[in-house]
Amino acid sequence: MPQLTGLHVYPLKSAYRLSPESAHVEPWGLTGDRRWMLVDERGKAYTQRENPAVGRFRTLPAPDGSLTVIAPDGSRLEVAAPSSADGAEVVKADIFGSVFEAAQAAEEAQQWFGSRLGAVRLLHLDNPLSRATSPKYAGPGDTVSMADGFPLLVTTTASLAALNELIAADHPGDEVKGAALPMERFRPNLVVDGTDAWAEDGWHRIRVGEMTFRVVKPCGRCVITTTDQETGARPSQEPLRALAKYHRFGKRLVFGQNLIPERPEGVSGDLLGTVRLGDEVTVLEEGPRPEPDRRG
């Protein structure tokens, strides 16, 4: 039986992960996941795509929504969660053309990040209803945190093993380019073990413990997957090279699937349920797996 073997939350978008044993599920994602984000001077998301050093900042969220950020040099910032209800400045933010409003953190936080990363600003999504999920894939009222597009991302260990085999075969004798990549490169929320390789490509709906999720869209991958999440280095073009060769669908280099949580019957409010390491994973609905456009 497939089971949940990895669980990750990213309080600050594109920064270092937290890996709890359990996490609450809200309509817009795991509790605390990507509720903070850096933006550039134009309000566009500032992530590892622009600067791999973002991934080396670590975070410690508090129950009241405040955040402690730890820079690579060990210096720390403690920042309260700004709220428009308390008079915080509300600004426009932009993630791949998805424009929404978020609250700007205190000036101290802006100066702290500015001295380390340049002209960036720190924002907080104080109202998680302010950003709608793409209506092409979601239903009315579906919202998302400051994740790229959807509330959660699921990957499988079998697919990673298969991808690493392809990478190794393409780079015989090259210890750098042919090295096995860890799952952390793909920044998932949920990691499932015990499936066939690429089984997730055919999933339409799954259950993880007490929660059910709609599988709405394959995840197209970007340069962040080439970034070592511990050092910020980009030692090669893998896994993008292998995905382009073996697991490309149109223009998308696919690894993992995006999820939207379903509200359990009789449950109201923001807390939908909890997922836990060791939870059984059941495929409730699936279809045929699409065939990749392999270049060969």
Q: Exposed/middle/buried for 101, CB within 10 Å: 0-12, 13-18, 19+? A: middle
Going by pLDDT thresholds of 50, 70 and 90, the confidence category of residue 295 is: low
pLDDT tens profile 187-244: 999 999 999 999 999 999 999 999 999 999 999 999 999 999 999 999 999 999 999 9
pLDDT tens profile 105-151: 999 999 999 999 999 999 999 999 999 998 889 888 899 999 999 99
Both tokens of 107, joined, read 């000036």
Distance CA 249, CA 239 (A): 15
Checking if the pLDDT of 70 tops 90, the result is: yes
Backbone torsions φ then ψ of 223, nearest 5 degrees? -65, -20
Predicted TM-score (pTM) of this structure = 0.97
Average pLDDT, the chain: 96
Both tokens of 159, joined, read 């697919």
* Averaged pLDDT for residues 257-272: 97
Checking if the pLDDT of 296 tops 80, the result is: no
Going by pLDDT thresholds of 50, 70 and 90, the confidence category of residue 86 is: confident
In the chain, the percentage of residues whose pLDDT exceeds 70 is: 99
CB 266 within 8 A of CB 30: no
CB 244 within 8 A of CB 238: no
Angle at 137 between CA 285 and CA 8, to 5 degrees: 75
- Whole-angstrom distance between the N-terminal and C-terminal Cα of the chain? 33
